[in-house]
Amino acid sequence: MPKGKVHLNTLFKLDSRWHTKRLRPLFSQIILAVGIGVLSGVFTGLIPGVHINLVSLLLLSVSGYLLGVTSPIVLACFIISMAVVHTFLDSIPSVFLGAPDADQALNVLPGHRLLLEGKGYEAVKLTVIGSLLALVLTVILIPVLMPFVPIIYNSVKGYMGWILLAIVSFMVLKEKKVFWSFFVFFISGLLGIIVLSMPNLEQPLFPMLSGMFGISTLVTSLSNNVKIPKQVISESIKVPKSELGKALGAAVFSGSLTGIFPGLGAAQAAIIGREIVGRMGHHAFMVLVGGINTVNFLFSLVTLYMLEKARNGAVLVVLEIVKGIDLNGLIVLLGVALVAGGVATFLAFLITRVFCNVIGKVNYKLVCSSVIIFVSGMVFFFSGWTGIFVLLVSTAIGIIPALKGVGRNHAMGCLLMPVILYFLL
């Protein structure tokens, strides 16, 4: 057994004297942990600013007590189920409220466009379908991909910065208004470097991305006197099979990169995936973003197993609790992810129906204003006046693409430029 890895029997606290009857309480604890994890994922997915990393760290702070009454695998199952459900549901506030987290930032614009067409349910459904199909496909492919993880990591890690720089250059140069595309990328990247370097700023991504992609969209809607039409509940959505295949393939490929390389997130992976497979419609793009969001987290478990490295906060907490996993432990956690994904699909459709029924009956200006006030309040709660200042600056930058007619994806420089510098310097 590789050094540092804990056998599943250790996680379950088993030995040859244990009997089946003594396993039943532990199995019940796992079921309970998954249930609580699902409810926690619903909470973190729907409430802007509350992230799975925050809940995971709170769990770690009381893990000493909890491990006295349960097993490490139970706590790990809670975190995995919560994280998977979060990746399924975090598209709902992005589409309906324009309040994204880092993984859903690029979904705001196409999602908001579909919302204004009365297709908010369709927008969320596309991301959920992407999450579910990518989850199943990734679990199937993991046995094939695992041997290549160390090879890919060692072969590409020295060139990742140059690869991202080439992708960014292509994104900027293909725009008709090259100057403004570069300007948006550069100024947002400069903001990202400054914000991520602030030592005392709690949750720096929340105010920056909320302003850049969320509040700026809501301000634009208010200034244009936008009205939300009645939302249509679409039971069937037509996405060309070729585009669906490209979206899922790109999701698995680029999403797996985020699980292998530090600094890469779902938003950067979405840009990589889209540039690799070429032009795709808004429907396929939302499938891509939804799929990457889930693959990003799922593949971090493979990285934990193969490289003994954690690529996000939740998996880092898992590593702190279980100290490492063997193949059996990985299988258990992947099984929990599949169960949580199935439940999350049902919950996402149900909750989205509620959002559709409510948002069409209220004044959209009131909704926009309320969301702006709520997000600002959450930013102040987590990040204080510094966070409010970041929110204002990022909102101003986020409005520039709409005024100058360039893609808002260039504002992802706030994350891409720091990552490029991380790999190059």
| pLDDT of residue 387 exceeding 60 | yes
Tell me the average pLDDT of the chain: 80
Give residue-wise pLDDT tens across range 290-345.
888 788 888 888 888 887 776 666 787 888 888 777 788 888 899 999 999 999 99
Q: What pLDDT was estimated at residue 226?
A: 63
* Strand, helix or coil for residue 380: helix
**E strand spans, 288-383:** none
Q: Which of 133, 119, 129, 126 is nearest to 355 (CA)?
A: 119
Give residue-wise pLDDT tens across range 94-113.
787 765 554 544 545 677 77
Q: 3-state SS string over 184-219?
A: HHHHHHHHHHHHHCCCCCCCCHHHHHHHHHHHHHHH
Dist CA 72 CA 333 (whole Å): 12
DSSP assignments along 205-260, one per residue: HHHHHIIIIIIHHHHHHHHTT--PPPPP--S-----HHHHHHHHHHHHHHHHHHHH
Q: What pLDDT was estimated at residue 311?
A: 67
Measured at the alpha carbon of residue 81, what is the angle toward residues 309 and 141, in degrees to the nearest 5? 60
User: What are the structural domain ranges in the chain?
Assistant: 8-424
Residue 134 vs residue 27, higher pLDDT: 134
Residue 336 vs residue 236, higher pLDDT: 336
Most confident of 20-24, 93-97, 259-263, 317-321: 317-321
Mean pLDDT of 210-233: 76
Residue 360 vs residue 99, higher pLDDT: 360
pLDDT band at residue 84 using 50, 70 and 90 as cut-offs: very high
| pLDDT of residue 225 exceeding 70 | no
pLDDT band at residue 200 using 50, 70 and 90 as cut-offs: confident
| pLDDT of residue 7 exceeding 60 | no
pLDDT band at residue 1 using 50, 70 and 90 as cut-offs: very low
**E strand spans, 269-342:** none
Q: What pLDDT was estimated at residue 177?
A: 86
Dist CA 425 CA 414 (whole Å): 17
- CA distances 325 to 197, 222, 302, 345, Å, are 33, 50, 10, 28
Q: What pLDDT was estimated at residue 259?
A: 73
| pLDDT of residue 86 exceeding 50 | yes
Query: pTM of the full predicted structure?
Result: 0.75
Mean pLDDT of 30-37: 92
Residue 9 vs residue 306, higher pLDDT: 306
State what percent of residues in the chain have pLDDT above 70: 86
* Strand, helix or coil for residue 75: helix
CB 71 within 8 A of CB 13: yes
Mean pLDDT of 190-209: 85
Q: Name the burial class of residue 394, with classes exposed (0-12), middle (13-18) and buried (19+) by CB atoms within 10 angstroms of its CB.
A: buried
Half-sphere exposure of 373 (CA within 13 A, CB side): 6
| pLDDT of residue 13 exceeding 70 | no
- Take residue 140 and report the two structure tokens written for it: 């199937």
Query: DSSP character for 92?
Result: H
- Take residue 295 and report the two structure tokens written for it: 């693959």
Q: What pLDDT was estimated at residue 207?
A: 85
